[in-house]
A and B are shown apart, each in its own frame.
Chain A
Amino acid sequence: MTADTDYAAGVALSPTGGLALLEPEPSDDDPAWLTEARRSASDWVGAHGFPTRKDEDWRYTRLESILTVPFERASPGLNHRRALTAINGLGVGLGGARLLFVNGHFAPELSRVDELPTGAIVTNLASVLAEGDERLEPVFSRTLAPFHHAFAALNTALTDDGAFVSLPAGVTVEAPIELVFYSEANGAPLVSNPRSVVLAGPGSQATIVETHTGLPGEVYCTNAVTEVVLEPGAVVEHYKIQNEADSAFHLALLDVRQDRESRFSSHVFALGSHIARHEVRVNLEGEGADVSLDGLYMPRRDQHHDNPVLVVHAAPRATSRQLYKGVVDEHGHGVFNGHIVVRPGAAGTDARQTNKNLLLSDDAEIDTRPRLEILTDDVKCAHGAAVGRLDEEALFYLRSRGVPEQTARAILTYAFAREMVDLIPLEPLRARVENLVADRLATSRNEETT
């Protein structure tokens, strides 16, 4: 594949694997349980290795091109000017706290946390770990055992930092909490392993906006894990904007645990990266929990966007809804791999899953795989997948009114994608995403023809 050579330009490939060789470095700041957790995570990777295409959840993603790059761990060196440019490029702020990470390391001088309600904490994870906060031990160990895969384990073994959000019972943080992860390689390919934790106490509410971006043309890898724990009645909205450099790799796990009557929603917008995989796992552990997962992925050129989703209904009367849309152009490859499991005893489950795709070129590729695994009676489950092309009659209609063909295609494509943008209730964020999506459609083909 050309991809391996394109993105490894100037980088000697390592047949034995760069990521596989990375080891945790003992740190005096880590509490003993964390040192142990890192050690056993690293051992797990050593014993089990990285996934292959024989693994059901990884069959659509070519990992060779990631595993053969000799990635090194990023050190805390910062380029303020470029990081600032990246932040400014995000557009208008959302009015709340903003934490910035450069190559996985916290940049306090570029971050801002204004007043928060009493008891609420928004800070970087490393500072909390250094204090030995024991609340984190079960959170870390849950993702540890059993391991989902080597990348999550690697994150535990290697993570330098990430965000930590903690909301006490009944507290609402009104303004969105923004987490910005900016990466650049500075010559050698770098990997960062941001780990973020959101603990939402009973009846608390918050909105988290996670943005991943990087310096164009650089080869780097983001291997991110975000864990969200919702206690009874908590409400958390999570937004993820994956706008990495087109030469980057992005692997992410959003791991969510919901107690009774809690509500979680996730909106993911996948635009960047050469290969990106955004995995969402939701465990509905409490009665009447509600989750809604939305996604828009737009691979073009030879981008690959994989979206594995697992929703486990482990308690009665919980509801889940998934709506993922793909817009695939040129040689892009989009994957939706959605899996709903209804455990025995999860009576009154209401689960829905929809995946719709728009193919814009003959070389574009889609794999869609909605799966239902129902182990109890008395459930309402629905799933569906569709793959289509632009409506030729609508295209003719627009052109007959004088709209040039390329513009007409972009208008109709945006009409397909905008449903996902319109699902963002937060006005300044919706405007930001709208611009990103519109810019993407405006540049999709023109760059090649002009």
Chain B
Amino acid sequence: MLSIENLHAKIGDNEILRGLSLELKAGEVQALMGPNGSGKSTLANVLAGHEAYDVTGQVLFEGEDLLAMSPEDRAVAGIFLAFQHPVEIPGVGNFYFMRTALNSLRRQRGLDEIDAMDFLELAKKKMELVEMDPSFMSRSVNEGFSGGEKKRNEILQMAILEPRLAILDETDSGLDIDALRVVANGVNALRSNDRAMLVITHHQRLLDYIVPDRVHVMAEGRIVRSGDKELARALEKHGYVGFDEVSLEPSVSVAATP
């Protein structure tokens, strides 16, 4: 579904991604871990189409050249980014925003728009999934939301927009254990055979709830190690120390670590 090859990204002279490659198949959940500054969020932003970066390399999504697409075209193709820091938009109602987003996608995919009543029904159902109070729909997008509420609002959007590829950028950061469980349940409910997820996290904790098929470790703008879910546990125990200097041999298995 997603094929990233030798991806470079920089802002000005600051090169953040330095030759990153990754394959993600439909139905898979892969986790991307790594220390602060390793380039995880940059990868998420680049995949969603943020225009601040100079990008080279190749990214194919369902065989299409993703880097040539505008952010809205990527959304139409089925990509969704749950932001690490969702922006507050005063004056734009949450309900209006989500309905506009869904109908923008449907229109560009040649489908009929959903009217306000039907959308309300849909939104209610999805809000139960993330245990969100309906009053959040009548507020401005993310305005005055707590950290946890913003993250739930992201998962709610994901549930409503039903993307093919969801990228979750540190969706667990700043969440207490209850909120983490709610968010993870929301994510797990969306796991399916035709949907892929890239879960970016700093902590192994989230992966107790969202069990990945594969774990990658990033350092200095590249993936320096890949393995199964046991790799995450090893990281939790030993930390990232040494990873940025570790040789670039691919996929050292650490499954045997006691």
Contact = CB atoms under 8 A, between A and B. Distances in A.
Q: Do A and B come from one complex?
A: yes
Interface of A: 391, 393-394, 396-405, 407-408, 411-412, 414-416, 418-419
B124 interface: no
A396 B100 CA distance: 15
B70 A399 contact: yes
Interface string B107-143: 0100000000000000000000000000000001000
Nearest to A401: B101
Contact of A403 (B72, B86, B140): B72
Given A399-B75, A404-B72, 13 more contacts: A391-B89, A399-B49, A400-B48, A401-B75, A401-B157, A402-B72, A402-B105, A403-B104, A405-B70, A408-B72, A411-B92, A415-B90, A415-B92
Contact of A397 (B76, B87, B90): B87
A414 B140 CA distance: 13
B101 A412 contact: no
Contact of A415 (B75, B91, B157): B91
B249 interface: no
A394 B157 contact: no
Interface in B46-99: 48-51, 70-72, 74-76, 80-81, 83, 86-87, 89-92, 97
B104 A402 contact: yes
A396 B91 contact: no
Contact of A411 (B51, B76, B80, B100): B100
Contacts of B74: 400
B161 interface: yes
Contact of B91 (A401, A403, A407, A416): A416
B104 A412 contact: no
Contacts of B51: 396
Contacts of B75: 399-402
Contacts of A415: 89-92, 140
Nearest to A411: B92
Contact of B161 (A393, A402, A404, A407): A402
Enumerate the 8 nearest inter-chain pairs by beta-carbon distance, A residue then B residue, closest first.
Answer: A415-B91, A402-B75, A401-B101, A399-B71, A402-B105, A402-B104, A415-B92, A399-B72
A394 B89 CA distance: 7
Contacts of B71: 396, 399-400
Nearest to B71: A399
A415 B102 CA distance: 19
A251 B158 CA distance: 51
A412 B88 CA distance: 11
A215 B96 CA distance: 35
A87 to B, nearest CB: 31
Nearest to B89: A394
Contacts of A411: 92, 97, 100
Contacts of A404: 72, 104, 108
Contacts of B49: 396, 399-400
A379 to B, nearest CB: 31
Nearest to B157: A401
B91 A414 contact: yes
A398 B101 CA distance: 8
13 contacts: A399-B70, A399-B72, A400-B72, A401-B104, A401-B157, A402-B75, A402-B102, A402-B104, A403-B100, A404-B72, A408-B72, A415-B89, A416-B91
A400 B70 CA distance: 9
A412 B105 CA distance: 19
A414 to B, nearest CB: 7
Contact of A407 (B76, B90, B102, B104): B104
A414 B89 CA distance: 11
A396 B157 CA distance: 15
Contacts of B90: 415
Contacts of A400: 48-49, 71-72, 74-75, 80-81
A397 B86 CA distance: 8
A255 to B, nearest CB: 33
Contacts of A403: 72, 100-101, 104
Nearest to A403: B104
Nearest to B92: A415
B132 to A, nearest CB: 17
Nearest to B105: A402
A407 B86 CA distance: 20
Contacts of B70: 399, 405
A418 B91 contact: yes
Contacts of B100: 403, 407, 411
Given A396-B50, A396-B71, A397-B83, A402 B91 contact: no
B10 to A, nearest CB: 18
Contacts of A393: 87
B76 A402 contact: yes
Contacts of A399: 49, 70-72, 75
Contacts of A419: 91
A416 B89 CA distance: 10
A296 to B, nearest CB: 13
B91 A394 contact: no
Contacts of A407: 100, 104
A195 B161 CA distance: 56
A400 B101 CA distance: 9
A405 B72 contact: yes
Contacts of A402: 72, 75-76, 101-102, 104-105, 108, 161
